[in-house]
Each structure stands twice: as structure tokens, then as C-alpha cells.
């Protein structure tokens, strides 16, 4: 474990060196402090807070104000780890200008180092513009929880050839427009492996097998504190 500050460039260097990237969620100061001290590479202030912190059935109803509040607490504790703010539902889908203003709040008010956005190639213009104004972006494709109503529940994505091609192409496009990493959630292991080997930026898996460049988990799940999912 290095004591150096983790940045988006660190992620790229870790992939180049073949080092696995460890990402966990946190929503409060003391959890973030512990994760930072034990050497977690990145802390995601996830919209999963809506479920594991507020007791909601999904991630959809959490607000920007709530997300910024939790990000402020986490960023105060994180001296080493890269802090990523999770853009909540309808904070970026409505327009590029809304996306810039809300993503900017994560950095300006919350103290985050970047944001995570769900969606594939259809989000390329938004992602590109955020990066142009200086906001690092982590992509997120596959099973995207903010689309739970469209999917009809939590399920593995990319099992058929057409959807697999869409995810692979989306990953390449998100890399091309400047994402520094991409979360792959609930997709077949072989597809995740193919995407990972096709990209120069790191992939962070959750339910996507062991071949991704890193893994992300909800800290409450690891600790056995959330049994509803």
C-alpha cells in the first residue's frame, strides 16, 4: 500500500502495472476514515445510501442535497483515497447544463475528486462536456440501478449478443470521450473480461467476475448490515 494520494492518474497507472483497484462505499466521516486508513484506493459516496442509510427500496429518490451532504462528510475523512460522488437520478439526465451544475456541486461543495454517471453511449455528450469543464468522470454500464424500472428488477445484463455488443461499444465510447474508469455491474464474466482487455482505462466490477481491473462493493453488504437486497 502506498501512502501517496490516489488520483485518476493513479487508477491508470495501477491498470498498467496490473495492480487491482479496491473501491468501497461510505456515507459518513468515521466509516470513510477507517477505509482511508486501511488503504482503500477509492471511496464511492453511492446513491446506494438511499437504501442502506435511509431504508428506501431503491436508489431513485435520493436528492442532490443529500448526496452532497454525505460527500462532505466522507471527503473530510479521506486523506489518501479518491472520493467519487455518485450522480443521483435526474441530476444529469435532464440536460447537459444540469449535469454540469450538479456534478460541480460534488467537487465544489462536497469535496469529491470526480463523479460517477450511469449509462452507456447515450451519455457520451454529457460525459464529454463534464470532462471539458474539469470534472473527472467514472462511467457505469451493465445493470444500472437507476434504470431498475426499465429493467423490471435487478438482473444480469449483456447475456445476448446484441446487448453484449452495445455494452462493449459503450465502454469504448466512454473511454474515447475521457472517462478515467468504468464500473461494470452484473454482466457475464467473459463479457467483462473482453471489455477489460479492450480498454486502456480500468474497469471496476461488481457482480462481473474476477477479471476486471478492480472491484467495488457496498460496505454495508461486506459487514452484513443490509439483508434486504
pLDDT of residue 92: 98
The reported pTM is 0.96
Domain assignment present for residue 85? The answer is yes
Domain count, the chain: 1
Instruction: Please name which of 203, 194, 206, 147 lies closest in space to residue 175, comparing C-alpha atoms.
Output: 203
pLDDT of residue 3: 76
Domain assignment present for residue 227? The answer is no
Q: Which domain holds residue 161?
A: 8-221
Backbone angles phi, psi at 183, to 5 degrees: -80, 130
Domain assignment present for residue 228? The answer is no
For the domain that residue 185 is a member of, what is the CATH number?
3.20.20.60
21 by Cβ neighbours in 10 Å (0-12 / 13-18 / 19+) ranks as buried
pLDDT of residue 228: 73
Instruction: For the chain, list the strands marked E by DSSP.
Output: 21-25, 42-45, 82-86, 114-118, 137-142, 181-185, 203-206, 214-217
pLDDT of residue 2: 59
Distance between CA atoms of 120 and 33, rounded to whole angstroms? 32
Domain assignment present for residue 226? The answer is no
Domain assignment present for residue 207? The answer is yes
Domain assignment present for residue 229? The answer is no
What pLDDT tens digit does each residue of the chain (229 aa) get? 557 999 999 999 999 999 999 999 999 999 999 999 999 999 999 999 999 999 999 999 999 999 999 999 999 999 999 999 999 999 999 999 999 999 999 999 999 999 999 999 999 999 999 999 999 999 999 999 999 998 888 899 999 999 999 999 999 999 999 999 999 999 999 999 999 999 999 999 999 999 999 999 999 999 998 777 5
Catalytic residue IDs:
185
Q: Alpha-carbon torsion 167, 16, 47, 155, what sign?
A: positive
pLDDT of residue 227: 76
Domain assignment present for residue 13? The answer is yes
Domain assignment present for residue 3? The answer is no
Amino acid at each position: 500500500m502506498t501512502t501517496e494520494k490516489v488520483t485518476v492518474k493513479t487508477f491508470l497507472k495501477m491498470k498498467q502495472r496490473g495492480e487491482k483497484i479496491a473501491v468501497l462505499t461510505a456515507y459518513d466521516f468515521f466509516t470513510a476514515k477507517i477505509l482511508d486508513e486501511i488503504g482503500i484506493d477509492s471511496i464511492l459516496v453511492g446513491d446506494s445510501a438511499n437504501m442502506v442509510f435511509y431504508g428506501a427500496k431503491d436508489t431513485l429518490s435520493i436528492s442532490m442535497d443529500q448526496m452532497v451532504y454525505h460527500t462532505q462528510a466522507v471527503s473530510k475523512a479521506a486523506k489518501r483515497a479518491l472520493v467519487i460522488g455518485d450522480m443521483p437520478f435526474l441530476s444529469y439526465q435532464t440536460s447537459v447544463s444540469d449535469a454540469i451544475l450538479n456534478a460541480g456541486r460534488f467537487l465544489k461543495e462536497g469535496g469529491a475528486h470526480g463523479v460517477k454517471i450511469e449509462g452507456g453511449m447515450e451519455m457520451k455528450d454529457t460525459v464529454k462536456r463534464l470532462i471539458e469543464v474539469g470534472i473527472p468522470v467514472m462511467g457505469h454500464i451493465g445493470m444500472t440501478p437507476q434504470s431498475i424500472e426499465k429493467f423490471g428488477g435487478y438482473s444480469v445484463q449483456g447475456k445476448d449478443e446484441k446487448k453484449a455488443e452495445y455494452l462493449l461499444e459503450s465502454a469504448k465510447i466512454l473511454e474515447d470521450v475521457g472517462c478515467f474508469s468504468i464500473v461494470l455491474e452484473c454482466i457475464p464474466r467473459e463479457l467483462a473480461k473482453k471489455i477489460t482487455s479492450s480498454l486502456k482505462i480500468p474497469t471496476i466490477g461488481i457482480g462481473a467476475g474476477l477479471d476486471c481491473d478492480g472491484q467495488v462493493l457496498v460496505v454495508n453488504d461486506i459487514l452484513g448490515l443490509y439483508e434486504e437486497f
